[in-house]
Structure 1
């Protein structure tokens, strides 16, 4: 005759507690994974910068966080740093210089928007150290695009490193639909953490 041995009540309680803990942590981890996926897919994403077109503001190899939702509720503003789809396989980081309706011109290294000179403090120290002549070559909007004004639903962008940047002077206006989002901050390397407003 086989006699079943009763499991002590204490052991049963331990197993039940352990199973409840595992179940609780599984739910928490699942929720975290879902939140991370939603966060990355719809709100924010990160990029590694390749190249020197945004120096000295952003350096080659730095990692940045991009706000993807901001332009769903507002339009790009002058001097925003943006990421956009430049080609089928490449995204670029550039600075918005012109918004819809703007006429852009550079003369004697000075930015003119709608005939008024505009200070570009973010490149002043780089421009001052630049020894190879003019930092931003003279041009007008109509000389580099087929328009006198930035059209609706588009922006005109430049890299901060004006002599080493493929930007709207070469590729034309950037459509709003191609903008991934606005650069919020750099997070790597940690000693170079910066927030962009």
Structure 2
């Protein structure tokens, strides 16, 4: 009986250590707060964020990331501009390096705040997005607090890339482009 209890305690300890390692270095769950990524994510959706991918690849336009914010809890947003890109918005159309960006995931409405912008209007002193920063926007542009509001995101603040929505169960998905 004592041997069996010892085996169970060891198994539980190993499981706890594995969970801690996975959460610290590989994956973490995150709950979407608000409507800024609607229709891609709704308020209360639960997602898995890949923290490990940051070590092997650069973020690309279209990636959905979670990052820490000085203005409160972490945000989930879509990467629109990466280092070296020029980005602007004219008449609700985003242009990256002079080319219109196809954004089937965006919520379009008549009244969206700050529809037009340039990098200069966002406070970027260079002609392109500087190294180590990203320009992010929410998919639900009329209500999203994003780079139009708080500027570029420092890549050191990025927690990771959203890889999986696991809640609600009837909307489990892995592709957010």
1:79 and 1:167 map into 2 onto residues whose CA distance is 15
Residues 2-43 of structure 1: CA distance to partner in whole angstroms, max 9, x if unpaired? xxxxxxxxxxxxxxxx33322222221111111011111111
Work out whether residues 36 and 139 of structure 2, in 8 Å CA contact, stay in contact via their aligned partners in 1: yes
- From 163, 169, 174, give the equivalent of 2:153: 174
Aligned with residue 28 of structure 2, among 45, 62, 82: 45
Task: Determine which structure has more spread, i.e. the larger CA radius of gyration.
Answer: 1
Structure 1: stretches of 5+ with no match in the other structure: 1-17
CA RMSD for the aligned pairs? 1.8
The answer to whether residue 7 in structure 2 is matched with residue 24 in structure 1 is yes
Aligned mates of 2:138, 2:114 — CA distance in 1: 10
Where do 5+ consecutive residues of structure 2 fail to align?
none
Which residue is 2:16 aligned to?
33
Alignment TM-score, normalising by the size of structure 1: 0.82
Write out aligned runs for 1:1-197 (5 A).
18-87=1-70, 89-123=72-106, 126-127=107-108, 130=109, 132-133=110-111, 137-147=115-125, 148-196=127-175
Distance 1:169 1:100 in 2: 17
Aligned-partner Cα distance in 2 for 1:136–1:90: 23
SS in 1 for 2:13: helix
Counterpart Cα distance in 2 of 1:88 and 1:196: 28
Asked if the contact 1:56–1:160 (Cα under 8 Å) also holds between the matched residues in 2, the reply is: yes
Whole-angstrom CA distance in 1 between matches of 2:10 and 2:112:
60
Q: Which protein is richer in helix relative to its size?
A: 1
What count of residue pairs does the alignment treat as equivalent? 175
